[in-house]
Chains A and B, each alone.
Chain A
Amino acid sequence: MRESLLKISLVALVGILGAQAVQAGDLSIESWRVDDQELWEKDLIPAFEKAHPGIKVKFAPTAPTEYNASLNTRLTGGTAGDLITCRPFDVSLELFNKKQLADLNDLEGMKNYSDVAKSAWSTDDGKSTFCVPMASVIHGFLYNKDIFDKLGLKPPATEEEFFKLLETIKTKGEGITPLALGTNDGWEMHQVVYTSIGPNYWKGEEGRKALVTKDAKLTDAQFVAPYEQMAKWAPYMGEGYKAQTYGDSQNLFSLGKAAIYPAGSWDIAFFNKDAEFKMGAFKAPVAKAGDQCYISDHNDMAMGMNPASKNQADAKVFLNWLASKEFAELYANKVTGFFPLANHDIKIEDPVAAEMVSWRKDCKSTIRLNAQILNRGKDDLEAAFWNAGQSVVNGTAKPAEAAAKVQEILAK
């Protein structure tokens, strides 16, 4: 009697071992955009499936913080999805070099993209492109129009006006926090602040390219200056900003408790949904009136194909659809704040997003400072930048010190 218990359990174990998941022929998309899951499921995928009946698509995102690690593990283990959302530049290039992303040069839809759009997902020599560009993001500041109107304020054009504005909100705002920004998470300090206000100092692409060719150093004045401005922001940030997370900042602004929010265009969608006030946007202020302005217009997202996919033909159909005008229109207007990179003429309906795109006309665009080539050192330059921005605003490092530390890592 008792012995049979053992037998039963062994049989049970074998039984479980035998029951296996069935691999369907559906296309599965890897992405870090958990926020967009609903949009993909309700709008984008149905639109595609309508145009291409017979192909089923699943959107399977992983949280942004885990995306790179878990995608790498799944690619190595051979369990990743058919379509891979590509981070820009080196992270994807590395995947391509390891043959974990397929070469997409022959994909018909690629003709819809300029070389600039493709640059973030091409080899250095530009000969191979491995992801279909999907979207770029633009950086700037969002502001609460109601608060501005109440205090009689106008969006600032110059740095001087900007600080005057902050001071007014601080003194007259009755508890309104001037800047909804915290240093807890770190990444905003670099990606949303330093690379957004910085291009006005280092003259966008000119400064960025000088860094790449080693004709400039981060310790040069034009790269230290943005840190000097950031160091002056602390008094206008909320009490306890050092433990304020990105989510906290979003809440603070959306609940109307802060006036200005240093933003990436992707934030618009969230505030449209949650904020109960009118919102506007202004670009990073320049040093003096009439100066040429530069904006951070960063290639952010693309999609490639897993070479180990069993559904490559279908995957290519999907990627060609990504390059179509239909997708660009849908994406730009459904996923507010992500701007299409294809050469289609798209009308952007959201007023704030349209405002941000309009900056492209007057200002020169540049991508995030260290995204291309510079990150290839032995050490994690991106992390060093985050820490530098954090330390400067937290007051634990002087601007020049922080810049010197990053330069040291860059030089390695």
Chain B
Amino acid sequence: MASRSRFPWHILVFILPGFIIYTLFSAWPLLDTMFLSLFKQASSGERVFSGLANYQELLSDPHLSEGFWNALWNNFKFFLVHVLVQNPIGLLLAALLSLKGLHGAKTYRTLIFIPTLLSVVVIGFTWQLILSPLWGITPNFLKSIGLGTWFQPWLGQEHTALLTLALISVWQFVGVPMMLIYASLIAIPDELIDAARVDGASAMRIFWQIKLPLIVPTLGLVTILTFIGNFNAFDLIYAVKGVLAGPNFSTDILGSYFYRTFFGAQSSLGSPTMGATVATVMFLIILMGVMIYFYVVQRRIHRYQL
């Protein structure tokens, strides 16, 4: 037992179990899918190597590219709503919760996180009911505060459906940025804040001048996680609007577009090869976002270290 073996077996033991499962059930299927994007499938089921032809078709043949660009653009809007609404709300809530001496902070925190736990099956259905023109919760509420004329069938109109869905998604996931930001806020050493407080700084000033600069790295992380999440999103759109992401594709995002190309929708039959192409493009977009984050954003941020 005394002498340690030359070969570091323990490293292998630590790595292998997770590595094997991950490779077999995640990495390999994903790589296999990307590989598939280089083929075309004949109607007989045979696959023929076709190089980048699928990509060319996806990006330039109107019958595919129109839908693709529409989905990509919608996806950006979807992401933008999250950045502009979800993250500021998350920041606000976290800032309030982390105030020293606030009663009930724990309860608030627990309750506000609850929507994040629910499945989209539940959330999609619930919000459809709440916003339903027939069930009357929202129209009656607006009427009772004198804004009855404001009510519109938001989920059913081309110009409002995507925004409504994005806000539902914000409602669901706001707990995540809140928790992450909260964690980094309360990690700020008390001395820093106490010192400022002794100098008579208001809570506002302490937040803007001391806390916020310190949590910029967390905000960066939250943004990139939101980006990844949004460009992978699919379930909510699917649960509420179905595979056609209506009305008139106005709520189509890359996830739902991928689903249609891969599995087919109504009369169109799915194409595994074209689906794989879309999947690969989605991967590249996300990769690009992550690279930008790592090489541009993170380098400029001075990470707060203990």
Q: Are B267 and A242 in contact (CB under 8 A)?
A: no
Partner among A65, A68, A381 whose Cβ is within 8 Å of the Cβ of B264:
A68
Contact with A along B251-262 (1 / 0, CB 8 A): 000000001100
Interface residues on A, range: 35 or more
A320 in contact (CB, < 8 A): no
Whole-angstrom CA separation of A163 from B4 in the bound complex: 91
Q: Are B263 and A387 in contact (CB under 8 A)?
A: no
Q: Are A91 and B249 in contact (CB under 8 A)?
A: no
Whole-angstrom CA separation of A412 from B66 in the bound complex: 14
Q: How far is the CB of B47 from chain A (nearest CB, A)?
A: 13
* Neighbouring A residues of B157 by C-beta, 8 Å: 242-243, 394
Q: Does more than half of chain A's interface fall in helix, strand or loop, or is it mixed?
A: helix
Q: Are B247 and A380 in contact (CB under 8 A)?
A: no
* Neighbouring B residues of A62 by C-beta, 8 Å: none
Q: How far is the CB of B63 from chain A (nearest CB, A)?
A: 5
* Neighbouring B residues of A30 by C-beta, 8 Å: none
Interface residues of A in 216-261 (CB under 8 A from B): 238-245, 248, 251-252
B140 in contact (CB, < 8 A): no
Interface residues on B, range: 35 or more
Q: A97-B43, A378-B63, A394-B247 are in contact. Are A242 and B153 (CB under 8 A)?
A: yes
Q: A379-B63, A390-B248 are in contact. Are A244 and B153 (CB under 8 A)?
A: yes
Whole-angstrom CA separation of A386 from B260 in the bound complex: 15
Whole-angstrom CA separation of A272 from B38 in the bound complex: 53
Q: Are A69 and B264 in contact (CB under 8 A)?
A: yes
A396 in contact (CB, < 8 A): yes
A326 in contact (CB, < 8 A): no
A370 in contact (CB, < 8 A): yes
Q: Are A68 and B263 in contact (CB under 8 A)?
A: yes
* Neighbouring A residues of B263 by C-beta, 8 Å: 68-69, 72-73
Nearest chain B residue, comparing its CB with the CB of A99: B45
Whole-angstrom CA separation of A252 from B270 in the bound complex: 35
Q: A238-B133, A252-B134 are in contact. Are A381 and B267 (CB under 8 A)?
A: yes
* Neighbouring B residues of A382 by C-beta, 8 Å: 265-268
* Neighbouring B residues of A386 by C-beta, 8 Å: 244, 246, 266
A47 in contact (CB, < 8 A): no
Q: Which residues of B contact A (CB under 8 A)?
A: 13, 17, 43-45, 63, 128, 131-134, 139, 151-158, 242-244, 246-249, 259-260, 263-270
